[in-house]
Amino acid sequence: MTQQLNDFSVTRKWPAQHPERIQLYSLPTPNGVKVSIALEEMQLPYEAHLVSFETNDQLSTEFVGTFPNNKIPAIIDPNGPGAQPLALFESGAILVYLAEKTGSPLLPADPAARYETLQWLMFQMGGVGPMFGQVGFFHKFAGKAFEDKRPRDRYVNESRRLLGVLETRLTGRQWVMGDAFTIADIAIWPWVRNMVVETGYNASELLGWHEFPQLQRVLQAFEARPSVQKGLKVPPRG
């Protein structure tokens, strides 16, 4: 049965003004901006829809009916495999899909480099994201009021270890994979950035950010990319 874009429940709450474009449902969080940055890097036409956590948009029946994990970012590609619409959640899966769809060098064609890139993508998804997020909870959000600092310190120590892994990896390299900017960088650097900027978790002192000169260098290069500067603001917050 042929499916149309309007068949997806999410479009009832966020109608497409440009149904021929990739539909992005997101918020400018460390996870959300991965996909907007990738779309900008690949110069793919897209339409962004703000999913507001303040009004629990992600829990709406329209959103969950299409994306059952009720998390952002998510996309619908109206021209997916077989010229059929494809709905996807999970930022890592979306990054791989978009890179493969376009044949982008953001995911290397060489098999060894491809799997090494995917390895570092999984490093972010399985380690950096969950651990850094816990630091944010215990350092900036509700958990900061806990008198017992052992939970916070547990996640801080693991986050410092992960930063150390990256620091070693980037010694003598321009990006995670060397000279090539890849989806691994798109996944990792929004999270690193969010840990240290004042508008994010503001945890640079807690993490000993001054001890990671390679990370500082690469983060600065990441922030200088036009696609990053635009993608970090997509979708605009109201």
Span 165-170, average pLDDT: 98
Within a domain: 237? no
pLDDT given for residue 2 in this prediction: 73
Domain that holds residue 188: 111-225
Span 31-43, average pLDDT: 98
Specify whether the CB–CB gap between 201 and 140 falls below 8 A: yes
- The string of pLDDT tens digits covering residues 190-199 is 999 999 999 9
In terms of domains, do 135 and 218 share one? Answer: yes
CATH number, residue 161: 1.20.1050.10
Within a domain: 238? no
In terms of domains, do 100 and 140 share one? Answer: no
Span 159-184, average pLDDT: 98
Span 65-71, average pLDDT: 98
Percent of the chain with pLDDT over 90: 98
- The string of pLDDT tens digits covering residues 104-163 is 999 999 999 999 999 999 999 999 999 999 999 999 999 999 999 999 999 999 999 999
| Dist. CA 189–CA 90, nearest whole Å | 17
In terms of domains, do 101 and 185 share one? Answer: no
